[in-house]
Amino acid sequence: MGFRVRSLCVLAAGLLVLAGARPILAQTGAQTGVGSRVAVSADPEVLARSARDSRDAGDHRAAAGAFAEAGRALILNNHAAGAAEAFTDAARSHLALGDVDGAYAVLAEAAAQLETAGPEAHAAAGRATASLARIRTNQGRYAEALILLDRSGALGGDRLDGPGQASLAYDRARILDFLGRAEESEGHARRALGLRREHLGEADSLTADALNQLAVSLQAQGRYDEADRAYRDALTVYEAANGPDHPHVAIALSNLGNILRRRGREHAAEPVYRRAVRIAESSGDDELLAQCLTNLGWHLRMTGRSPEADPVFRRAADLLVEVAGPDHPFTGIAFANLALILGDQDRHAEAEPLFVQALAALEPAVGTDSPDILATLDGYAHTLAKLDRKAEADAVYGRTLDIARARLSPGHPEAMRQTVAVADFLLDDGRAAEARRRLDEAEAALFQRIGAATGPGAGALRRTQALFERQVRASWTLAHPARAENSLPPNP
């Protein structure tokens, strides 16, 4: 399976931007504080100056400690906004050391202290909590991130300016998309986009982030034409705002390649994928590179070049294990892709434990009924069938159909693909009547979707062809049961 690459997907200092905050750390509580000033044991400005000097000298550990002390002093001085900024700088210093847990701990301290400091500090507590949500999102702990974002909004969401409101909407859209809740994600992405267009303008890179997220949500719903336009618009803004070789350009290119491939334009997709990889290679961002490599590898596999995809997938997996860890959902996707490659080589016994490992990483993060695990479950079921574990394969295939029915709209491309895969299994297992029933249900859903559209596209027609081919095979088998055992038409 490939990635829908979200903007700001990498855990870095840029993650911790306080929505709606101003850099006012140099001010003291006496100047702009909340409530009356109380005595403190250290001058926050002295601490902040020391922290900045340490940071500029590359001593991030000392900077983290000094910024945190400045934050505590500013809270005692009733200067909530400055305290939030200081704690955020402390978290950035922890991230510069690769210490994500340290960054989370210092922000959690800030959020707790600011929340108890009184209602006047709740907006700053909300901003710190939003940064906690971003860390959990990048760790793949999406359900936890959503709870934190809800808390952030409750604390101070109504006090944010327009760009701050846009940041919360954008963050929510990302999390909901990761959780497979694409329709909800779309609504929040549209809100973020509208706010950023209003307050930042069409040409701002943050507006392009919102466009990219909107396209991601549309793609997840199978609305490829709309997603194509949004990705192209994001790409145009990214190139104009940041230059042609910026990492965000790689994000938009890799996503655009996915859409071109899904719309049957594989010849146009490949140079787009390869340009994305080249940009990611030079960015120094290994997580972005791994995602772009994964999308290229998926394209190579889907165009019948599994041997070429193999080293691409292996490199992506190695990178993700290193930068995200073996339990991150992104790494789960990488394990699933390695398993699929092994299946292509008829090495099903080796593929099976990799599928199990992939699901162990994916399911806690995205949920056991997420559409984003369909490809992994399908590959796992196929592997079980090849290992002659038919009952287990049947159960997993049934689960894929349950997810598609519950979480995808009627006629969704992924639901169609899954029905075809299940039909192939049923036909091979001698269950032609059941296969025909599944195919007829899918055909009705597909034509309902086509009828609701302005006109059937090439992708819809290809899906219709795949269904018809299996329907012919099922009908032939039912009409000639005695001959079907030895002379089935070839599986398309």
Give 120 or 94, the one with higher predicted confidence.
94
Q: Sorting pLDDT into bands at 50, 70 and 90, what band is 38?
A: very low
How far is 476 from 276, CA to CA, in rounded Å? 46
Mean pLDDT of 288-303: 95
Helices (H), 200-262: 205-220, 224-242, 247-262
How far is 64 from 95, CA to CA, in rounded Å? 10
Say whether pTM exceeds 0.75. Answer: yes
**What tens digit of pLDDT does each residue of 171-226 get?**
999 999 999 999 999 999 999 999 999 999 999 999 999 999 999 999 999 899 99
Which one-letter amino acid corresponds to residue 247? P
Q: Sorting pLDDT into bands at 50, 70 and 90, what band is 386?
A: very high
Q: Sorting pLDDT into bands at 50, 70 and 90, what band is 42?
A: low
Q: Sorting pLDDT into bands at 50, 70 and 90, what band is 14?
A: very low
**What tens digit of pLDDT does each residue of 342-355 get?**
999 999 999 999 99
Burial class of residue 232, CB neighbours in 10 A (0-12, 13-18, 19+) = middle
* 137: DSSP letter: H
Q: Sorting pLDDT into bands at 50, 70 and 90, what band is 78?
A: confident
How far is 261 from 270, CA to CA, in rounded Å? 8
* 373: DSSP letter: G
How much is the pLDDT for 462? 60
How much is the pLDDT for 413? 85
Report the percentage of the chain scoring pLDDT > 90: 65
Complete DSSP assignment for 383-452: HHHHTT-HHHHHHHHHHHHHHHHHHS-TT-HHHHHHHHHHHHHHHHTT-HHHHHHHHHHHHHHHHHHHHH
Report the percentage of the chain scoring pLDDT > 70: 86
Three-point CA angle 158, 128, 24, nearest 5°: 85
Three-point CA angle 39, 40, 42, nearest 5°: 145
Q: Are 328 and 372 in contact (CB under 8 A)?
A: no
How far is 136 from 297, CA to CA, in rounded Å? 28
